[in-house]
Each structure stands twice: as C-alpha cells, then as structure tokens.
A and B are shown apart, each in its own frame.
Chain A
Amino acid sequence: MADPHPGEMILYDDILPPLLDNSYRMSITTDVSIAGAPQPLNSRDAFFNVEGPRFSLSPTEVGGVFPPRNGHGAFSESIPHIAILRRTLPWERELDPQNLIGTPSLIPNVPPPQGQVPWMALLLFEEGEYTLLQNQPLEQVVPADVFQRLGSPANIRCDAIEASLDLVNAILPSKEELQLLAHVRHVNKDDRELSIEGSKGFFAVVMGSRLPNENAKCRACLVSLEERSDLVSKDPPANELVFGGFFPGEFVAEDAQAAHAQSAAAHPAVVAATPAVAAASARDVAIARSRPGVIGIGTRFFFNTRLVLLYSWQFQTIGTGSFRDLMQGVDVGLIGKVANPGHPPLTDTCHLPISVDDRAGVPEKVLYRGPLVPFQLTRDTLGPYHSADQARRVTPETGAEDISYACAFETGRLLASADPRLAQELMRWRREAYKQSSRGDSVSQVQSALNMTQQVDLHLPVIPILAQTAVARIASGAGPIADPTGIDKIKDVIGLNPIAVQKAYNLPSVSAAVNMLGGDAGALGAVVTTQPQTSRPATTIDAVAADSASLAHLTAARDRILNNTAAKLGGKP
C-alpha cells in the first residue's frame, strides 16, 4: 500500500490481524500408506497463543486523543475519539464469538455496513455519572457468565468504570454502531515532530457517539466489550423526536426508563442498590426501548454496572480551545517582541541585560543574547576560539560587556563534557592524527637516511618497502666478492688463459681454445643440435602462386589477426 502524499490521509474500514488473539492448537497429522496399507503415524499437537492488550491499554499504545487530555475548550460539538498506534487492535478480538447478541435488524433500503465489529467502545461520562475503580479483580468487574466466556483468566486485575446500568444502556452503541465508530487512518508522517516514528503512519481510531455537554467536566473511557452480550444490544434504542424547537426542554418524559433488573447472583457486576423489582434482562430492556410506543414506568436507576476500562482521559468543555481558536489567538511576532515593552528590557539588538558576578566577585551588568535573533547576522569568521574569554566582547555604545558568545562556548563545553563518549571520540580524533603524523615523520626520516626517492603511501604496509630498499641499498654498496685463497690469480697464467691461447694459436674462437684447454663444454651449457630441415621438393614461385587453397588459408589468418588487433584497439575492422 502506497504511503499517502504529504497532506493526505487514507481511511480504512478496518485492518484485520491474520489471526485473532486467542489460544490456538496446531494439529499435525500425516497420512502415509504403503501399497494401499495405511501406516499409523502419531499425530502431534502444538499450542500457541496470540496475545495482545486485553484488560488494559498501555499509554504508549495511544497515539492521540481528542478532545485533548486535560484540555479546556469548546468541545461541546466535538465527538471524542482516540487514536491507537496498533492499527489492528480494535479487531484483534471478537466481540461476541457465540453470537449471543444476534444480527442487527435491517433498516429498509440500507445495506448493512461492511467490516468487522470492534471489541472496544469509547464512552463519555460526565463528572458524577461514574465511579472509577482501580486494580479490581476481573471477577468483580464482569458478570460471572461473561467471566466464564472470557475463559476464566485467573489473577487478572484491571481498572474498571462503574456507572448506572440505565446510563450505560443509553449511551452504549449497538452492535452495528460499534462497527461504524471504528476505522483506520493512514497518514503521511514526513512533516511531523519525532515521537511519531515507528508507527508507519497507521492509526486505529475509535470514536464515541455522545457529545459532551457545555460547561461539563467529562471523562472519555475506552472500554472493553468483549463478551458483554449483556450490555451490547442488537439494535439501537429509540431516537429523540425532533420537534420544531431545538432539543425542547419541555420534552421531559422519561423515555422507556423501564425497570432494569437482573438477578444479582447471575450478574454480580450489577450492584443492586435496592432489591430488584422486575426481571427483564438488560438486553430485553434495550430491545423493548427500541420499539416506539413502549413507555416504561419512570423508575429511577438504581443499578450499576461495571466495564473493563482500557484507557481514559478527562477534559472540560469551557471557553474556547479548539485548535483553530488557539492558533487564531496566538500572538505572532519575531523574537524580541514582548507583550509589555520594557519588560524584560531588551535592547534593539535583542540583547538582554543580566546581572552576573565577575571573576573578582564584583556584581556587574552584562548583555546576553541567545542563538535566536530577529535579524540576519553575518557569521563570525575569526574562529576558532579556544576559550570563553576569547569570545567576550565589549559593546562600543554602552561599554557593557557582551557575554553571548562566551556563554555559547561554555554551554558547548559543558554539553560535551557531560557526554563521556564524546570526550573519548575527541581524544580518538586527535590521537589518530598525531599517530599518523608521527608515523609520517619517522618514515620520512628513514627515507632521507636511505636516500629513497620513492614516495611511500602511509596506508600501505611500510616495513616491507623499507626493508626491500634497505637490502637493495646494502647490496649495491658492497664491494667484489672476496677471494681469501687468491686462487683467481691462476687465470693470469698465460697457458691457462683461453683468450691468450686463442690469440697465440690463431684459433677461430675462444670456445675452441677452451675446448683445447680441456674445458668441459657441458659446463658451459648444453650442446644444442640444429633441427634437421624438412626436405621439400624444389618449387617455383608460380607453383606457390597457383596454390589457391594455401593462399586463402593465409589470407584468412592475416584477416583474423588484423581484426583481432583492430578490436583490441577499440576501432572497427
């Protein structure tokens, strides 16, 4: 899937993991038969779990929330949502694998939405509508049958939110609505700050369906609805009738506030504040309420229910605080612009007078300016500076000292000293240079001592080159081979000197004289006999010219050689 272009985003209905979170058994059987007779082979089972967040969500998995956490603003027309970094998370579990909720009834002419139902929902509660419970045993959070369907995981503690059953039924999305409220976004992340890295730009987004009230303190809660068929309804409850007025205040009839009762034994999570009166299950109530005309008795809610809380955050809907409002309200200016001129007393060059104690301990006023300036400055080319004092300046106008660059120097020095690895690397940088330089010096000294004209590449092994040069030099400087017995004098005896013998006897060659003196020809070299010439019949130039086969052969050989040479030289034949 191609990444979106800058400024674009792509929405997906869902992104499903290859395997849902669960325990799996891999069963391997092999069928082998020899000559039609099956051979029994043991089958083998292997088990593995696919795991993911289930009863809590780490804050590091959350990519962003809206309205902002602890934000204040006009959020009363915003639908809360949460962006989760793990794009498959909302679909990693099944909401209702045994289909206890049932299939939502179809609205005429409206095809059912495609995609999977997520197992989580984002609910919005106002202050006072809920109780936050921390670190509860799971058994006390979900009803017993749900706990059993969850696989009775032992020793699980989780956070929970407790609210009245009536409220939860009123605000909890139905099965189809849950599906519509979760999607995946793929955004371009090139022009973002850093912490988004590693997410590949995918976010799973879960929306709420309730709008915050004005001037209210709200808590948005991401809850797990896995196996909560007691709460999630097949179809949504009845809608508000829209009259001429805007949410008429006089329309106070408590709509179908039917009695919600559940035997406390079967549902320990439904905490009875007063004894149960009616016997309809929460689901039945919800279904009943979806049918118009069923008017309940205006009973007040007395029953609470608990939900596994994965993640939650608070915000307040007061004042203005949308991104747009904030950005439009931002005070724009170049650095050095202060709300109340003179406070702080910046100079027109953006220097700030500050008090310091000089090295004698005398307090003095100096000027300081940070690296951020309101105008373009020429880069100082006097560097490098070797100490902070070297970078201190006195401003000609006021005579006050400017310590900006001295301060920069010290800041750099302190930052570098705080990093032990950097100190090591600095030393290494210098040491490498010194080492190579001293090596170069030694080699050049040796070279001059050896009278070497050859340039030596310091990155090659120098020793063999020097050794070879030294040997050559020693060898060339040595005198003739010594003759301690003086036996070479004997060659001056006239009768033994082949040259003299050749001259005296007028022999044709020196070798003849050597032979005469009894010299061993073998010692002078092997006797080479001449190759006997191949006898050929006498032929004439006409006969050679008439031998066209041989001539063609020769021409071909010549052309081949010419072609090869031409090809080697890169030219055309």
Chain B
Amino acid sequence: MRTAWISSSDALRNRMIKPFQVPDTEPEAEMPPYMESFLAHLRLLVGVPFENMIPDPRMLSDESIRFFYLDRSWTDRLVDGAIAVGKIGTREQAHHQAHSAPVNQQLDFTERGVRNLQRGKSFTDVKKEISGQQPPAGIITGFLLRSGAVAGWPHMDVRAYSSDIPEPLEPGSDTAKSQQLTTLRLERLSPAILLALFDGIPQLVFLEEPHHGVQFGVHAGRTAFEIDLRDATGHQIRVNPADPNSNPVTQSVTMRAGQRRVIAVASLRASLVNQRNTHTTMPEQKGSSAFAIEVLNPPWRQRFEGTVDHAEKPGTSGGFVSIISIANRVADVATKNAFETAITTQTITGRRG
C-alpha cells in the first residue's frame, strides 16, 4: 500500500503551528467580498440596534442634536464578534488571531466605501475607488439628530467642514470643497432620527433644507401679503443694490376675491413682468421656473459651529442659501426629435384612448 505523504495528525499540527495558514499576500487570505463589505458596514454601526447606541432615550430627547466621537474599540469588538461566528475550535481561533491585524487594516480602508456601497455601487468599483486613497482610519465623528425637521424635511443636505468657514459659504466653491469632510454615513434610522458620520473632526456642520423641498411662500406686509423680488440666482434684490443690509424690494401679492386666501397667480405674474422693467437683474418671466424663483422661500441653512451652540445669536447660526439658475426649456428635445425623425417617414396617428 502506498503510504500518504502526510498523516492527518501531522496536517493538523501544521495548521496549528502555522496560524496564518497562508501569507497575507496570497489571494486565499483575502476576505470574500460579502464578508468584507458586511464587516465594513458593521464598522459604521450599520444594523446595530438603536438601544445599543443610545441606551437611555433621555440621552437623545425630542428636538435635540448630539455630536459624538465614534469609539473605535467598540466597533472593533463588533467585528471580532462577527468573525466569532462559526469559530468552533482552536484551529479557527488561531486563524483569527493571526489574521486579525490584516483584516482590521483592510477594513480601515473599506469602511470609507460603505456610503457608496449603500448607494448601490458595486463592490469592485468601490474597492477600486478607495484603493490608494487617503490614509486609513482617522477619527470618526458624527451626530444624531432627533427632530420633527427630519420627518418633515426628508433628504436635507448635511455637510461638515474641517474649519469654520463664514457665510456666505457656497458648497460648490473650491475653498469649501477642500475643507469638506467626507460623509461616511448619512441615514435616517427612524422617521425622526438622522445619523451622520464624518471622517475627521468637524469645526462646522450645517444642515440645509432639502432643495427639492425648497418652499414657496409669502409674508405679511403692511397692507397685504408680499414677496421679496429675487434675481436669477435667488438672491433678494435690495432697495440699494450696493448695500446688502438694505431692505429687499417687495411686491404685494394680489389675491383672488372671495376671502379664500387664493393668490391671483396670473395677476402676480403680470406685476412681476412690470417689475422687471425697473429691476433688470430679475429673471425674465418666461415661464413657470422664473415665476417659481420669485415666490421662493430659499432653503434655511442651520450651522453648528464648534461645540458651542450659537443658535440664539441671529446672523451666526443660520442663513439663507440661494444658488438657483433657470434653465431654458428643455424637453429631452434630442430624444423627441430622434424619435420623431425615426417615424415621420411613416404615418403616426394619435388616437384618443
């Protein structure tokens, strides 16, 4: 009989004296993508019950925001616990012991891609993006917000900056972009609770009313409802254009007869068309988008600066945001034309259904 090259007891002994089993450089040592992505999600507390984060509801009372640092030891233990599944013997234990450091190092990178993974990007794309990026595993900070604003204004804009940039802050500008901290996670945990995690320590966090939910409104003037005239980017037009603190130019809002608080939209537009003769920075009242700009209440931006609450100080804690542009009428014209050219050589007959 042929004798085996290696006996089973020797094989087991080899497993034990070589806890790494395979060197990290070998592809077999790499975590399967699903496992890597699951553990990276755990690192950012995805799926962790809310009671574990806030053990007493009084720690996050209604209408409050709490900033925090993320305890990396806590999240490391989460990962240890997850890897403990199926660890039935000393062999698995030795393997985990040996591979724990490289696994942690890898996760320090992968956790930066969790937000993109959550947005439905493929794991390979995300890995490609984060490989060779900034150094791994900095300090993670964040906030929990419990407020009616979360429920009422879904999809608000949240941004964090590494320095306290004063208003006017245009998030699209280069200064702002260079200071912006990466948002690692931004998710509503329940209808009224928003969790945000940032990569780094922010000096300024702001929450902005969602732009698609930017409201329209009027305000009560002396004799009637009024609106402030706005230029094509949504900025108020001032009585004295040189002085940003002078009063905005207003237009009284005509109402329909009948005491039903119905705005006479067509008449209002007619007045706006006339106003443009005087205030040329107003957008031309071509269609509904120019009209919408004039009746806009631009989004409110709430700033949280440092660890001190400036909410009571007007002028420092918030401000209006106004960057809006009007596009010319588009109607996917190219698509439409292409379709029409394709079939106009034939006869197309629309028939009322």
Q: Mark A79-93, 1 if CB is under 8 A from B, else 0.
A: 101010000000000
Which residues on the A side are within 8 Å of B5 (C-beta)?
Answer: 442, 445-446, 449
Q: Is there contact, CB below 8 Å, between A413 and B84? A: yes
Which residues on the B side are within 8 Å of A189 (C-beta)?
Answer: 155
Further contacts, 20 of them, CB under 8 A, given A25-B351, A438-B15: A5-B171, A18-B339, A26-B346, A64-B155, A78-B215, A174-B265, A242-B224, A246-B222, A338-B59, A344-B59, A352-B56, A370-B55, A371-B52, A371-B78, A379-B73, A384-B83, A408-B77, A426-B83, A434-B21, A434-B95
Q: Is there contact, CB below 8 Å, between B100 and A383? A: yes
Q: Is there contact, CB below 8 Å, between B258 and A255? A: yes
Which residues on the B side are within 8 Å of A209 (C-beta)?
Answer: 262-263, 265
B243 part of interface (Cβ distance < 8 Å): no
- Distance (whole angstroms) from the CB of A191 to the closest CB of chain B: 5
A500 part of interface (Cβ distance < 8 Å): no
Which residues on the A side are within 8 Å of B282 (C-beta)?
Answer: none
Q: Is there contact, CB below 8 Å, between A23 and B353? A: yes
Q: Is there contact, CB below 8 Å, between A16 and B53? A: no
- Distance (whole angstroms) from the CB of A332 to the closest CB of chain B: 4
Closest Cβ neighbor of B137 among chain A residues: A379
Q: Is there contact, CB below 8 Å, between A413 and B288? A: no
A374 part of interface (Cβ distance < 8 Å): yes
A-B contact pairs, 20 of them (CB 8 A): A11-B325, A24-B351, A66-B213, A79-B215, A113-B286, A113-B288, A151-B353, A193-B156, A240-B254, A246-B220, A246-B223, A333-B65, A333-B309, A371-B48, A374-B68, A379-B73, A384-B97, A415-B82, A429-B31, A442-B6
Q: Is there contact, CB below 8 Å, between B58 and A338? A: yes
Q: Is there contact, CB below 8 Å, between A25 and B82? A: no
Question: A364 to B85, alpha carbons, bound, how many Å?
Answer: 28
- Distance (whole angstroms) from the CB of A256 to the closest CB of chain B: 7
Which residues on the B side are within 8 Å of A107 (C-beta)?
Answer: 266-267, 270
Q: Is there contact, CB below 8 Å, between A436 and B26? A: yes
A375 part of interface (Cβ distance < 8 Å): yes
A177 part of interface (Cβ distance < 8 Å): yes
Q: Is there contact, CB below 8 Å, between A22 and B351? A: yes
B279 part of interface (Cβ distance < 8 Å): no
Which residues on the A side are within 8 Å of B104 (C-beta)?
Answer: 383
Question: A366 to B106, alpha carbons, bound, how many Å?
Answer: 34
- Distance (whole angstroms) from the CB of B310 to the closest CB of chain A: 9
Closest Cβ neighbor of B253 among chain A residues: A211
Q: Mark B313-353, 1 if CB is under 8 A from A, else 0.
A: 00001100101111101111001100100010011111111
Question: A162 to B112, alpha carbons, bound, how many Å?
Answer: 53
Q: Is there contact, CB below 8 Å, between A415 and B213? A: no
A463 part of interface (Cβ distance < 8 Å): no
Which residues on the B side are within 8 Å of A268 (C-beta)?
Answer: none
Q: Is there contact, CB below 8 Å, between A405 and B74? A: yes
Which residues on the A side are within 8 Å of B158 (C-beta)?
Answer: 191-193
User: A13-B286, A416-B38, A449-B5 given as contacts; is B153 within 8 A of A68 (CB)?
Assistant: yes
Q: Is there contact, CB below 8 Å, between B292 and A335? A: no
The residue from B22, B35, B84, B324 contacting A409, defined by CB atoms under 8 A apart: B84
User: A13-B329, A423-B85, A427-B86 given as contacts; is B183 within 8 A of A191 (CB)?
Assistant: yes
Closest Cβ neighbor of B317 among chain A residues: A328
Which residues on the B side are within 8 Å of A305 (C-beta)?
Answer: none
Which residues on the B side are within 8 Å of A16 (C-beta)?
Answer: 331-332, 336
9 cross-chain pairs, A with B, having the tightest CB-CB distances, nearest first: A412-B81, A68-B152, A5-B172, A13-B287, A16-B331, A412-B78, A11-B289, A416-B82, A7-B171
Q: Is there contact, CB below 8 Å, between B170 and A7? A: yes
- Distance (whole angstroms) from the CB of A135 to the closest CB of chain B: 22
Which residues on the B side are within 8 Å of A346 (C-beta)?
Answer: 59
User: A7-B172, A323-B149, A331-B64 given as contacts; is B69 within 8 A of A375 (CB)?
Assistant: yes
- Distance (whole angstroms) from the CB of A301 to the closest CB of chain B: 11
Q: Is there contact, CB below 8 Å, between B45 and A24? A: no
- Distance (whole angstroms) from the CB of B88 to the closest CB of chain A: 10
Which residues on the A side are within 8 Å of B18 (C-beta)?
Answer: 437
Q: Is there contact, CB below 8 Å, between A386 and B302? A: no
B135 part of interface (Cβ distance < 8 Å): no
Closest Cβ neighbor of B183 among chain A residues: A191
B285 part of interface (Cβ distance < 8 Å): yes
The residue from B64, B73, B120, B331 contacting A330, defined by CB atoms under 8 A apart: B64
Q: Is there contact, CB below 8 Å, between B96 and A413? A: no
Which residues on the A side are within 8 Å of B167 (C-beta)?
Answer: none
B225-262 with Cβ < 8 A to chain A: 225, 252, 254-262
Which residues on the A side are within 8 Å of B27 (C-beta)?
Answer: 459
B187 part of interface (Cβ distance < 8 Å): yes
- Distance (whole angstroms) from the CB of B304 to the closest CB of chain A: 6
- Distance (whole angstroms) from the CB of A340 to the closest CB of chain B: 8
B14 part of interface (Cβ distance < 8 Å): yes
The number of A-B residue pairs with CB atoms under 8 Å apart is 557
Q: Is there contact, CB below 8 Å, between A194 and B84? A: no
Question: A449 to B3, alpha carbons, bound, how many Å?
Answer: 13
User: A110-B270, A170-B262, A441-B6 given as contacts; is B82 within 8 A of A412 (CB)?
Assistant: yes
Q: Is there contact, CB below 8 Å, between A386 and B96? A: yes
Question: A1 to B330, alpha carbons, bound, how many Å?
Answer: 10
Q: Is there contact, CB below 8 Å, between B300 and A11? A: no
Q: Is there contact, CB below 8 Å, between A24 and B212? A: no
A404 part of interface (Cβ distance < 8 Å): yes
Question: A209 to B331, alpha carbons, bound, how many Å?
Answer: 25
Closest Cβ neighbor of A339 among chain B residues: B61
- Distance (whole angstroms) from the CB of A172 to the closest CB of chain B: 9
Which residues on the A side are within 8 Å of B63 (C-beta)?
Answer: 326, 329-331
What's the tally of chain B residues with a CB closer than 8 Å to chain A?
171
Which residues on the A side are within 8 Å of B93 (C-beta)?
Answer: 386
Which residues on the B side are within 8 Å of A66 (C-beta)?
Answer: 213, 215
Closest Cβ neighbor of A97 among chain B residues: B352
A498 part of interface (Cβ distance < 8 Å): no
B49 part of interface (Cβ distance < 8 Å): yes
Q: Is there contact, CB below 8 Å, between A114 and B300? A: no
Which residues on the A side are within 8 Å of B184 (C-beta)?
Answer: none
The residue from A184, A335, A380, A423 contacting B86, defined by CB atoms under 8 A apart: A423
Interface stretch, picked from A136-144, A195-203, A501-509, A565-573, is A195-203
The residue from A111, A379, A414, A445 contacting B72, defined by CB atoms under 8 A apart: A379
Question: A245 to B58, alpha carbons, bound, how many Å?
Answer: 49
Question: A81 to B217, alpha carbons, bound, how many Å?
Answer: 10
Question: A385 to B67, alpha carbons, bound, how many Å?
Answer: 29
A103-119 with Cβ < 8 A to chain B: 104, 107, 109-111, 113-115
User: A11-B327, A408-B74 given as contacts; is B154 within 8 A of A64 (CB)?
Assistant: yes
B127 part of interface (Cβ distance < 8 Å): no
Question: A207 to B77, alpha carbons, bound, how many Å?
Answer: 51
A337-355 with Cβ < 8 A to chain B: 337-340, 343-344, 346, 352, 354
Interface stretch, picked from A34-42, A231-239, A276-284, is A231-239
Closest Cβ neighbor of A98 among chain B residues: B352
Q: Is there contact, CB below 8 Å, between B329 and A49? A: no
Q: Is there contact, CB below 8 Å, between A330 and B145? A: yes
Which residues on the A side are within 8 Å of B54 (C-beta)?
Answer: 370, 372
The residue from A8, A14, A247, A335 contacting B288, defined by CB atoms under 8 A apart: A14
Which residues on the A side are within 8 Å of B218 (C-beta)?
Answer: 77, 79, 211
- Distance (whole angstroms) from the CB of B158 to the closest CB of chain A: 6
Q: Is there contact, CB below 8 Å, between B349 and A24? A: yes
Q: Is there contact, CB below 8 Å, between B76 and A380? A: yes
Which residues on the A side are within 8 Å of B252 (C-beta)?
Answer: 242
Closest Cβ neighbor of A5 among chain B residues: B172
Q: Is there contact, CB below 8 Å, between B84 and A387? A: yes
Q: Is there contact, CB below 8 Å, between B289 and A183? A: yes
Q: Is there contact, CB below 8 Å, between B74 and A386? A: no
Q: Is there contact, CB below 8 Å, between B329 and A437? A: no
User: A7-B170, A195-B154, A416-B38 given as contacts; is B96 within 8 A of A328 (CB)?
Assistant: no
Q: Is there contact, CB below 8 Å, between A207 and B302? A: no
B265-287 with Cβ < 8 A to chain A: 265-267, 269-270, 273-274, 285-287
Question: A182 to B291, alpha carbons, bound, how many Å?
Answer: 10
A212-260 with Cβ < 8 A to chain B: 212-213, 235-242, 244-247, 251, 255-256
